[in-house]
């Protein structure tokens, strides 16, 4: 009987110890979310007092909200005033009369134009009319009547970023079919701004996630920040990877914004050359090493790879200097670069055991 | 040692092994955190049978918790992406209803990752 008591109290002491350890080891991690840019924004800050982390997060959220109001492609900033982008689009449609734009928007458009040229027009924020025609300039998407004639007309009008002429603080378009939609650029731009702001404020460790696009500062305590990559067809992560200081990751997928029509999936990623949503690819993930515009590249660089056919994906990646990428095609086969493969830790058991999954590693 | 001692040792070892596996392993989540807009709405244990109603900007979302898993059972949004996500049971899994600003995230002892790229 005494021995039983002894064993039981020993176990009880162990349990109490474990409990106390778990209560006292709460780490200095601040975490908050908000809905901006029509998506979920999620910020983690490690190693700052909660009060300071909260102030910094408020500042970032309000900056994002301003960007959102400035750059919204279809919603006015208020009931009487269009967004700055909306006003510019209206001017482009009217003709060649230059209108004033802010230095910030001018810088963004110059940068987006350079990236569009480098991607040979596959990243093309000038096709706002096509995006609208397919019904993706709405808060919620539903199937649209596909009008092949209208699509052909818009493709033949060839709206391009190089049609936009920026001189000083004015801009006009030499092509009235140009309608800007920065949906594939603004979130990345916002990531770079947030990272720069946090660095300037002396924050060493943070993780900023805007609708799935993520940039990392520093680490999560003793270990790097870890990021899960969503499986395009399962409610779980397919793999995880360490996102080191200054790195950014972005995914273009056909599973976040799409509608189904007659059993076919129509996603929001539209090939500017054909005018139709891309249907051969489920997801493209790019990983961008530290550089001044890592956030922008994490947003932009996945699009040309997504749009290109299987044989041309590697070439599209090289246009924007992307070395780390993973493609999941419509058969759920996975193709990735060797550099990317070294970064990933697979979570998905089908991929781990190589069952029903084709895995191709590019040299 | 007596046979009773051995039984105690073996039973304790099995119990500790079992508890370690269920509580420390990142496979199965312990709780679901429900967020509404910018706020944490509630956190529930997954070890129960429960229906939770959350009033988002669009209306009433119905969330089912059922012994270790959770899902959006009903949502007032148009596309129903959140409902189509189905049951979630592993730590780190999320279902987000953007239009209605309601999200579910499974949390446990050890998160396999800090944030999700999608």
Domain ranges of chain B: 3-107
With beta carbons under 8 A apart, name residues in chain A contacting B98.
Answer: 35, 38-40
Distance CA(A256)–CA(A306), nearest Å, equals 14
Nearest of A194, A162, A237 to residue A63 by alpha carbon: A194
Distance CA(B24)–CA(B43), nearest Å, equals 19
Can you tell me the mean pLDDT for A322-349? 95
| Shortest distance, CA B37 to any CA of chain A (angstroms) | 6
Percent of chain A surpassing pLDDT 90: 83
Of all residues in chain B, the one with the smallest CA distance to A235 is B85
Domain B3-107 has CATH 2.60.320.10: yes
- Asked if B12 reaches chain A (Cβ–Cβ under 8 Å), the answer is yes
- The domains located in chain A, with CATH, are 77-183 (1.10.3980.10)
Q: Answer with the residue of higher pLDDT: A180 or B13.
A: A180
The tokens of A81 are what? 């005033």
Of all residues in chain A, the one with the smallest CA distance to B103 is A40
Torsion sign (Cα): A288, A234, B95, B68 = negative
Q: How many angstroms separate the most distant Cα atoms in chain A?
A: 96
Following DSSP, what letter does each residue of A251-276 receive, concatenated?
Answer: EEESSSSEEEETTEEEES-B-TTTSS
Q: Is B3 left (phi over 0), alpha (psi -120 to 50) or beta?
A: alpha
Q: How confident is the model at residue A17 (pLDDT cuts 50, 70, 90)?
A: low
> Is residue A109 within a helix (H) or strand (E), and if so which, with residue range?
helix A103-118
CA distances (Å), origin B65, targets A98, B44, B58: 58, 9, 22
| Shortest distance, CA B98 to any CA of chain A (angstroms) | 6
Please provide residue B8's backbone torsions phi and psi, each rounded to the nearest 5 degrees.
-60, -45
| Shortest distance, CA A246 to any CA of chain B (angstroms) | 16
Q: What is the pTM of this model?
A: 0.85
Give the DSSP letter of residue B55.
E
Task: Verify whether the Cβ–Cβ distance A32 to B38 is below 8 Å.
Answer: yes
With beta carbons under 8 A apart, name residues in chain B contacting A240.
Answer: 112-113
Geometric angle at alpha carbon A288, from A287 and A294, rounded to 5°: 135
ipTM of the complex model: 0.84
Task: Verify whether the Cβ–Cβ distance B35 to A33 is below 8 Å.
Answer: yes
Distance CA(A303)–CA(A338), nearest Å, equals 20
Query: pLDDT tens for residues B78-101?
Result: 889 999 999 999 998 999 999 999
HSE-CB of A140 using CA atoms within 13 angstroms? 14
Q: How confident is the model at residue A18 (pLDDT cuts 50, 70, 90)?
A: low
Q: Cβ neighbours of residue B92 under 8 Å, at least 6 residues apart?
A: A228, A237, B26, B29, B105, B106, B111, B112, B113, B116
- Asked if B95 reaches chain A (Cβ–Cβ under 8 Å), the answer is yes
| Shortest distance, CA A55 to any CA of chain B (angstroms) | 15
Residue A286 confidence (pLDDT) above 80: yes
Query: pLDDT tens for residues A218-254?
Result: 999 999 999 999 999 998 999 999 999 999 999 999 9
> Is residue B113 within a helix (H) or strand (E), and if so which, with residue range?
none
Q: Best residue in B4, B103, B106, B117 to probe A by mutation, most A CBs within 10 Å?
A: B117
Q: From the CB of residue A244, how many other CB atoms can be counted at a distance below 10 Å?
A: 14
Following DSSP, what letter does each residue of B39-54 receive, concatenated?
Answer: EEEEEEESSSEEEEEE
Which of B12, B103, B115 is closest, CB to CB, to A7? B12
Question: Is A335 in a helix, a strand, or coil?
Answer: strand
> Is residue B87 within a helix (H) or strand (E), and if so which, with residue range?
none
Distance CA(A338)–CA(A326), nearest Å, equals 10
Which of A34, A139, A212 is closest, CB to CB, to B117? A212
Helix orientation angle between A84-94 and A103-118, rounded to the nearest 10 degrees: 70
Task: Verify whether the Cβ–Cβ distance A237 to B4 is below 8 Å.
Answer: no
* Number of inter-chain CB pairs under 8 A, A vs B: 102
Following DSSP, what letter does each residue of A138-180 receive, concatenated?
Answer: SSS-------HHHHHHHHHT---GGGEEEETTEEEESSTT-B-
Torsion sign (Cα): A191, B43, B41, A233 = positive
With beta carbons under 8 A apart, name residues in chain A contacting B12.
Answer: 7, 11
| Shortest distance, CA B1 to any CA of chain A (angstroms) | 10
Residue A20 confidence (pLDDT) above 70: no
Q: Best residue in B26, B59, B114 to probe A by mutation, most A CBs within 10 Å?
A: B114
Of all residues in chain B, the one with the smallest CA distance to A248 is B117
Distance CA(A258)–CA(A143), nearest Å, equals 9
Task: Verify whether the Cβ–Cβ distance B79 to A259 is below 8 Å.
Answer: yes
| Shortest distance, CA A332 to any CA of chain B (angstroms) | 16
Residues 180-239 of A with CB under 8 A from B: 207, 209, 211-214, 220, 225-230, 235-237
Buried b / exposed e over B57-83, threshold 16 CB at 10 Å, is ebeebebebeebbbbbebbbbebebbb
Can you tell me the mean pLDDT for A51-59? 97
The tokens of A149 are what? 């004639």
Residue A293 confidence (pLDDT) above 60: yes
The tokens of A226 are what? 């870890």
Average pLDDT taken over every residue of chain B: 89
pLDDT 10s digit of each residue in chain B, 118 long?
A: 788 888 888 888 888 877 766 555 545 788 999 999 989 999 999 999 999 999 999 999 999 999 899 999 999 998 899 999 999 999 989 999 999 999 999 998 778 899 999 9
Q: Which residue carries 């699009």 as its tokens?
A: A303
Q: Is A158 left (phi over 0), alpha (psi -120 to 50) or beta?
A: left
């Amino acid at each position: 009987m005494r021995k039983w008591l002894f064993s039981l109290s020993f176990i009880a002491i162990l349990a109490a110890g474990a409990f106390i350890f778990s209560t006292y080891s709460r780490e200095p991690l601040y975490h908050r979310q908000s809905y901006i840019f029509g998506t979920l924004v999620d910020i983690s800050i490690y190693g700052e007092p909660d009060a300071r982390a909260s102030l910094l997060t408020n500042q970032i959220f309000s900056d994002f909200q301003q960007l959102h109001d400035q750059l919204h492609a279809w919603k006015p900033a208020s009931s009487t005033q269009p967004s700055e982008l909306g006003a510019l689009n209206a001017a482009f449609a009217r003709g060649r009369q230059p209108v004033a734009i802010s230095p910030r928007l001018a810088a963004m458009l110059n940068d987006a134009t350079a990236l569009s040229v480098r991607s040979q027009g596959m990243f093309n924020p000038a096709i706002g009319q096509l995006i609208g025609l397919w019904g993706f300039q709405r808060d919620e998407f539903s199937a649209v009547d596909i009008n092949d004639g209208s699509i052909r007309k818009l493709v033949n009008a060839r709206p391009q970023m190089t049609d936009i002429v920026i001189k000083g603080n004015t801009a006009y378009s030499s092509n009235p079919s140009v309608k800007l939609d920065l949906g594939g650029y603004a979130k990345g731009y916002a990531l770079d701004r947030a990272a720069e702001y946090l660095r300037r404020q002396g924050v060493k460790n943070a993780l900023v996630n805007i609708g799935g696009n993520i940039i990392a500062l520093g680490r999560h305590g003793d270990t790097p920040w870890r990021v899960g990559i969503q499986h395009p067809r399962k409610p779980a992560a397919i793999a995880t990877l360490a996102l080191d200081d200054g790195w950014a990751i972005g995914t273009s997928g056909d599973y976040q914004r799409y509608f189904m029509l007659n059993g076919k999936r129509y996603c929001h990623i539209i090939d500017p050359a054909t005018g139709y949503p891309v249907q051969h690819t489920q997801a493209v993930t790019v990983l961008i090493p530290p550089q001044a515009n890592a956030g922008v590249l994490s947003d932009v660089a996945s699009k040309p790879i997504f749009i290109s056919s299987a044989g041309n994906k590697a070439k599209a990646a090289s246009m924007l200097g992307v070395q780390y990428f993973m493609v999941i095609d419509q058969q759920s086969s996975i193709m990735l670069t060797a550099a990317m493969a070294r970064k990933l830790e697979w979570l998905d058991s089908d991929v781990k055991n190589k069952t029903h999954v084709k895995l191709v590693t590019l040299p | 040692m007596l046979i009773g001692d051995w039984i105690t040792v073996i039973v304790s070892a099995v119990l500790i092994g079992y508890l370690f596996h269920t509580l420390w392993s990142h496979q199965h989540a312990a709780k679901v955190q429900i967020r509404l807009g910018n706020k944490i709405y509630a956190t529930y244990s997954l070890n129960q049978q429960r229906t939770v109603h959350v009033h988002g900007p669009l209306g009433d979302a119905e969330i089912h918790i059922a012994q270790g898993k959770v899902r959006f059972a009903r949502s007032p949004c148009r596309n129903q992406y959140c409902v189509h996500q189905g049951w979630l049971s592993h730590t780190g899994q999320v279902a987000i209803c953007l239009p209605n600003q309601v999200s579910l995230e499974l949390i446990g002892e050890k998160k396999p990752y800090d944030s999700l790229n999608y």
